[in-house]
Amino acid sequence: MTDLKPSLDLPDVMRIARQAASEEVVLHEVVGVSIGGQGSHYVEILVTTHDAGGESSLFVVGAFRNVSEASLRRDIISRLQQRRANRR
- pLDDT by residue (tens digit) across 19-74? 998 887 678 899 999 998 888 999 999 999 877 777 888 999 999 999 999 999 99
Rounded to an integer, what distance in angstroms lies between the CA atom of residue 57 and that of residue 85? 15
* CB burial of residue 19 (10 Å; 0-12, 13-18, 19+): middle
CB 73 within 8 A of CB 57: no
Neighbours of 86 (CB within 10 A): 7
